[in-house]
């Protein structure tokens, strides 16, 4: 199976100063974070990984890529053979023509290398406010932008008249090098249950960004493929994001995974403002996020929930954990998060190198089957199985 890598470009130690708006400089500068993570990113290709992925966040210490497509465009010139992916491009934030144009340029710069377009609708009010986009419009903007992207990739000349965007007849240049492959490799990440049937009915693939348990994702794959089956589409397998720490001893790996997973969780809480559940309840399309605001505060319980299920340990243990995650999710591709929280870059590099030497060759030889129970089934009434319940949405709507 294929194995990719992504980095967070996160300045975790600057959160207190950022939230208090205290004068700088940060304890660790953003520039140091960039230099360290670019150095790690430049190891991905020579160490034998298959792909490099970029996250799309702005304006806080949480993730400082400044945009997934811009970041990957830079990395296209620093690499020659690996594939790329976005995890994710938050479509509601941007003018769809700009996104279509940037994707085309990157597709051409890759000169035949594969680009997987992971997409989503975002959930951080700080980012929506700064981009001056109403968060309540996220779902409709996502759907309309996806429609425009598909027009741009399937027609040389196209126009659009919709709820949010009016586009006169235009074309994208350079033309897409691999338009059909781009459309075939579109993936969506979701947290809300409402998004899953929308994505499956749209013919998209699955990008699982480590927001649920592996067992929950197993049910999602079955539901997703049931919808695809009802629409006459073949079953698909997800790309799955996993935190990974590989070390010489189990204890060393666990301490790193535990400490830095807790830091990563705290950074996420601050970025998304999960301590403000009313804001989610009062924002159309985000009501279910209020449940995430009832956060567990006990550190040991948090560690068990967020760190224990990830891939950590000695090389043999990491390999076995990833095999188990593949079995539960039917992943055909992993994207490993190897530096998170305030993990020192030196520790992340040691983990990457040990993994590449001892685990990666075995994963490349590993078959990644789609479990029979996740292939999808449709009943005679045209409903799809949603885990242990029935989703009453008719297929094709």
Looking at residue 303, its pLDDT comes to 81
Looking at residue 158, its pLDDT comes to 98
Looking at residue 336, its pLDDT comes to 98
396 occurs within a structural domain:
no
165 occurs within a structural domain:
yes
Those residues whose C-beta lies under 8 Å from the C-beta of residue 199, and which sit 6 or more positions away, are: 188, 190, 206, 224
CB 271 within 8 A of CB 126: yes
Say which CATH number the domain at 12 has. 3.20.20.30
46 occurs within a structural domain:
yes
Looking at residue 24, its pLDDT comes to 87
The reported pTM is: 0.92
Looking at residue 49, its pLDDT comes to 98
Looking at residue 297, its pLDDT comes to 63
DSSP notation for 26-41: -SS-HHHHHHHHHHHH
**Could you give the number of structural domains in the chain?**
1
Looking at residue 74, its pLDDT comes to 97
179 occurs within a structural domain:
yes
Looking at residue 109, its pLDDT comes to 97
Q: What is the mean pLDDT of each run of 10 residues along the chain (397 residues)?
A: 97 97 95 98 98 97 96 97 97 98 98 97 95 96 96 98 98 96 94 84 94 92 95 96 98 97 94 88 83 66 88 98 97 98 98 98 96 78 39 26
Looking at residue 293, its pLDDT comes to 62
Parent domain of 51: 2-374
Looking at residue 296, its pLDDT comes to 54
Looking at residue 295, its pLDDT comes to 56
Q: What backbone phi and psi angles, to 5 degrees, belong to 239?
A: -90, 130
156 occurs within a structural domain:
yes
101 occurs within a structural domain:
yes
381 occurs within a structural domain:
no
384 occurs within a structural domain:
no
């Amino acid at each position: 199976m294929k194995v990719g890598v992504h980095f967070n470009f996160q300045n975790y130690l600057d959160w207190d100063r950022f939230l208090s708006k205290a004068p700088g400089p940060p304890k660790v500068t953003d520039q140091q974070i960039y230099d360290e993570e670019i150095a790690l990113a430049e190891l991905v290709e020579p160490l034998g990984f298959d792909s490099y992925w970029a996250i799309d966040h702005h304006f806080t210490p949480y993730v400082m890529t400044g945009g997934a497509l811009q970041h990957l465009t830079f990395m296209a010139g620093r690499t020659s053979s690996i594939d790329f992916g976005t995890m994710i491009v938050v479509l509601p934030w941007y003018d769809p023509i700009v996104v279509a144009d940037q994707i085309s340029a990157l597709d051409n710069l890759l000169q035949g290398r594969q680009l997987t377009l992971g997409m989503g609708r975002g959930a951080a009010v700080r980012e929506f406010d700064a981009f001056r986009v109403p968060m309540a419009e996220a779902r409709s903007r996502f759907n309309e932008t996806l429609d425009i992207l598909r027009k741009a990739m399937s027609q040389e000349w196209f126009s659009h008249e919709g709820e949010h965007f009016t586009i006169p007849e235009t074309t994208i240049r350079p033309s897409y090098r691999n338009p059909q492959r781009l459309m075939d490799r579109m993936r969506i990440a979701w947290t809300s249950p409402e998004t899953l049937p929308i994505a499956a009915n749209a013919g998209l693939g699955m990008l699982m960004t480590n927001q649920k348990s592996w067992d929950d994702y197993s049910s999602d794959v079955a539901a997703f493929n049931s919808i695809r089956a009802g629409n006459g589409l073949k079953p698909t397998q997800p790309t799955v994001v996993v935190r990974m720490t590989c070390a010489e001893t189990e204890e060393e790996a666990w301490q790193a995974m535990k400490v830095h997973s807790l830091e990563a969780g705290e950074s996420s809480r601050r970025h998304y403002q999960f301590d403000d559940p009313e804001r989610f309840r009062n924002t159309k399309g985000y009501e279910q996020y209020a449940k995430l605001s009832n956060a567990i505060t006990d550190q040991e319980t948090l560690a068990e929930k967020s760190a224990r299920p990830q891939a950590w340990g000695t090389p043999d243990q990491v390999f076995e954990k990833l095999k188990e995650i593949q079995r539960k999710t039917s992943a055909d591709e992993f994207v490993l998060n190897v530096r998170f929280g305030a993990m020192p870059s030196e520790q992340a590099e040691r983990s990457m190198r040990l993994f590449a030497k001892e685990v990666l060759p075995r994963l490349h030889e590993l078959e990644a089957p789609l479990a029979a129970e996740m292939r999808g089934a449709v009943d005679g009434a045209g409903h799809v199985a949603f885990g242990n319940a029935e989703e009453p949405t008719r297929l094709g709507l």
